[in-house]
Amino acid sequence: MPTHRRTFAGLPQEVSRARRWTRDLLGAHPCADDALLIVTELGTNAITHTASGGGDFLVAVTQAETAVTITVTDLGGAQTRPHVAHSDSGDVGGRGLALVTMCATRVSIRGDRGGHTVTAELHSKAPELRTC
């Protein structure tokens, strides 16, 4: 399974660039739509909540026939570790990681104030075998 890695500047417009790059890599993969949402949410979290805003963040995409793994690494510096927030209905933010966990088969978070890596694994159903 090939893994593609790319570093993006910690600017809002770079999140859309990371999304386009991921879309180009995945094409018509069955997990592509969820993977694009995850790249957007994790990239936005990196530049909003860590030293990656004004710095950079790394995106890695690994794909297999029925699975995709998205990994986003930030530069750290946040006072808290990434976590699923329980936002009130009137809150403007705080739902990104919750969306990621709803889309992904598995989510893991590693790291400390020096940097965090969030990995989301996506699995689609195996293609059905057709018989003649």
User: Does residue 65 form part of some domain?
Assistant: yes
- Report the predicted TM-score, pTM, of the whole model to 2 decimal places: 0.83
Task: Examine the pLDDT at 84 and tell me if it is beyond 70.
Answer: no
Q: Would you say residue 129 lies in a domain? A: no
Q: Is residue 128 part of a domain?
A: no
- The verdict on residue 25 lying in a domain is yes
* pLDDT score recorded for residue 130: 42
> Residue 131 domain-assigned?
no
Asked if the structure places residue 132 within a domain, the reply is no
What is the percent of the chain where pLDDT is above 70? 80
**Sign of CA pseudo-dihedral 116, 74, 33, 6:** negative
Q: What is the CATH number of the domain that holds 38?
A: 3.30.565.10
Whether 5 has a pLDDT exceeding 60, the answer reads: yes
Q: Is the pLDDT of residue 129 over 50?
A: no
| Residue 25 domain boundaries | 3-123
Give percent of the chain above pLDDT 90. 61
Residue 60's pLDDT band, with cuts at 50, 70 and 90, is: very high
CA torsion 72-76-80-83 (nearest 10°) is 0
In a domain, residue 12? The reply is yes
What's the chain's length in residues? 132
Alpha helical stretches, state H, the chain: 12-26, 32-49, 96-103
Question: Does some domain include residue 62?
Answer: yes
Q: What is the pLDDT of residue 93?
A: 54
Amino acid letter, 113: R
Task: Please give the tally of structural domains in the chain.
Answer: 1
Inter-residue contact 18 to 6 (CB < 8 Å):
yes
SS3 per-residue string spanning 10-45:
CCHHHHHHHHHHHHHHHCCCCCHHHHHHHHHHHHHH
